[in-house]
Amino acid sequence: MTPAELSRTVLHAVCRAVEDGVLRAPVPESVRIERPRPGGRGDYATNVALRLAGPAGQPAGDVATLLKERIGRTGGIERIEITGPGFLNFTLAGSAQQRLLATVRDQGERYGMPGSVDLPDGPGEGAFPHADELRARIWAQTLLRLGARPLDGETVTVVPAPHGGLPESLGSDAARWALLAAAAHDRPRTDGLLVQHERNPLYRVRFAHARARALSRSAAVLGFGAAPDAYVDAPALTTAVADHPAVVADAARLRAPDRLARHLDVTADALLAFQHTVLPVGDEKPSAAHRSRLALAEAAGTVLAGGLSLLGISAPEYL
């Protein structure tokens, strides 16, 4: 069970509690799942009971208890504990990280993808209405790639591109990043996107993807491959990989491709900080730890490649 799946499980329990009449509170749009805070336990935790306690007029501990009863019937959760004023703490069956990496390896670049991304870049059935302007057109195309579909009367509204010749001056990839990485209400930034330096977010994301592929090639030379055999202590990178499907879904739901761009940047930062631990050093022999670290690095590379493709940007294996 990934954090995104756990979030949906908890939200479903909230809905059932409201339907049963034991919880009188508005159902939230989403439930935030995070690593346990100091004093917490297990793999993940949520403060949803504290958020619902006020509107429900009930103590947070009571809300947590009734949610625990409903969540506890779900497979994949080994134990649920209540800590502090009403935090729900989850210990998943087996290793959540190992299952996550196995899922990414099995799904490949389909991991986190919407149901269909094989959509034309030009206008067509189901396209988002938009102004006859470069950024609005690319924004509308990308929303379709993310799996979003226009509502009645919905129109893409964004701050226009600085000029229509961006693809010619920057190239297609850099132009798309410039127009999608800024929020719809912000002016796109085009400076520095051709600089081959880690200060350039587009270069950083593509470089991190290339590094993941290079680690796989180097590991093959050393005679080992990726396998999620052991736990890897890399919470930032694990969380970034696990959050990818939810980020893609949120980017579509909120009409905000910039959320995906920021997530790819976060994933790249975490991978670049982690990469130095993957391969054996000196006379060190490859171990289960190295195979597991490689599996996590490859999963991050998969997220970066899939995310870039949703933005219409290439992900070279060599950079």
- Given strand 77-83, what is the order of strands in its sheet? 44-46, 87-92, 77-83
Show the beta-strand stretches assigned E in 2-157.
Answer: 44-46, 77-83, 87-92
Please write the tens of the pLDDT for every residue from 100-124.
999 999 999 899 998 644 444 444 4
pLDDT reported for residue 92:
74
Report helix angle 257-274 to 288-310, nearest 10: 160
Distance from chain centroid for Cα 96 = 16
What pTM, to 2 d.p., does this model score? 0.71
pLDDT reported for residue 35:
81
DSSP per residue, 215-274 = HHHHHHHTT------S----HHHHHHHHHHHHHHHHHHHTT-HHHHHHHHHHHHHHHHHH
Contact 309, 244 (CB under 8 A): no
pLDDT reported for residue 126:
62
The rounded distance, in Å, linking the Cα atoms of 38 and 259 is 28
pLDDT reported for residue 160:
94
The rounded distance, in Å, linking the Cα atoms of 300 and 275 is 11
| Unique residue bearing structure tokens 């970034």 | 240
The rounded distance, in Å, linking the Cα atoms of 143 and 149 is 8
Give the pair of three-digit tokens for residue 167: 């693809």
Please write the tens of the pLDDT for every residue from 202-226.
999 999 999 999 999 999 999 999 9
Query: For the chain, percent helix, then strand, then coil, each to nearest 5?
Result: 50, 5, 45
Residue type, 251: A
Contact 36, 45 (CB under 8 A): yes
3-state secondary structure of 24: coil
pLDDT reported for residue 195:
82
pLDDT reported for residue 41:
81
Contact 33, 3 (CB under 8 A): yes
111 half-sphere exposure, CB direction, 13 A CA radius? 26
The list of the chain residues with pLDDT below 50 reads 116-124
Q: Is 13 left (phi over 0), alpha (psi -120 to 50) or beta?
A: alpha
List, in sequence order, the alpha helices (H) in 72-200. Answer: 96-107, 134-145, 166-170, 172-181
pLDDT reported for residue 183:
96
The rounded distance, in Å, linking the Cα atoms of 207 and 315 is 9
